[in-house]
Each structure stands twice: as C-alpha cells, then as structure tokens.
Amino acid sequence: LVQGRFHNSWEMYTIDTAALAAVTVAGVHGAISMGLHPLVAATSGMVMSLGGVLRDLFCGRDLAMASQSYAFATGAGSTVYVLTREMALRGYPFSAITRIFLSMGTTVSIRCWEYFRGEQLLAPMHGRK
C-alpha cells in the first residue's frame, strides 16, 4: 500500500523530474565534449530519456505517468543547452552555469506544466484514426 502510494506521488514525480533534468544536461554535455555535431548532441540528450522509460518498464511502473513528457522535456532541454552553447561560441554572454540552469529549467518547466495541468503537451499516437 505504501509502495503504491509513493510510486504515483508528487514526491516521486519531483525526484524523477530533477533526475531527468540532470541527465539531460549530462547527456548533451557528454556528446558535445566528444566533438559531436550540435544536432547529434541535442538528440543524444533526448535519447537519454529512453533509460527512464526502460526503468519504468522493467520495474512495472505505469508508463503513462511520464513517457510522453520524458522525450519532449529532454528534447527541449537539450536543444536549449545546444542553442545557448552555440550562441556562447559566437560571442553572446552565456556562461556554462547559465546554460545548465536554462536547460534544466526548460526540462523542469515542461514536466511541471504537464503535472499541474493534468494534460500532456504531446498527445499519444495510439488510437488515432
């Protein structure tokens, strides 16, 4: 009973969101540090969300709780990181800490939007006619 209440709680969603934001930055920064193209780096940040979906699948958690917002939130967060890095390379004043906070803030904002609104930003593709 306690375990079921915890897995679908706002506390778990908050921890999950914070971890997702950190993994987004780590994934995109790792790809950039390897010298990959910015488009590939942004995509690699989004692919990191697959680990969370697989975790939910293996642990028997409800995938509908976060699977659509995982990819969208990490994609947006990693895109913000890559764009602000490219702007910094062109002389705009974006420090590394600013890029990290903007990227994590984007990821967290999208997840909060979906949690508090109770609706997903991306509609599920199944069942479309």
Q: Give the pLDDT band of residue 122 (cuts 50, 70, 90).
A: low
Q: What is the pTM of this model?
A: 0.79
> What is the tens place of the pLDDT at every residue in 20-68?
899 899 999 999 999 999 999 998 877 777 776 777 778 776 665 455 6
Q: Residue 114 pLDDT > 80, yes or no?
A: yes
Dist CA 97 CA 88 (whole Å): 12
Answer whether 27's CB lies under 8 Å from 44's CB: yes
Of 39-48, 74-83, 102-111, least confident by mean pLDDT is 39-48
Q: Count how many Cα atoms sit within 13 Å of the Cα of residue 119 in the half-sphere of its side chain.
A: 3
> What is the tens place of the pLDDT at every residue in 61-76?
666 545 567 788 889 9
Q: Which residue has the higher pLDDT, 113 or 61?
A: 113
Q: Give the pLDDT band of residue 1 (cuts 50, 70, 90).
A: very low
Instruction: Tell me the pLDDT of the chain averaged across its residues.
Output: 82
Compute and round to an integer the Cα radius of gyration of the chain: 16
Task: Name the token pair of 90.
Answer: 């062109």
Looking at residue 125, its amino acid is M
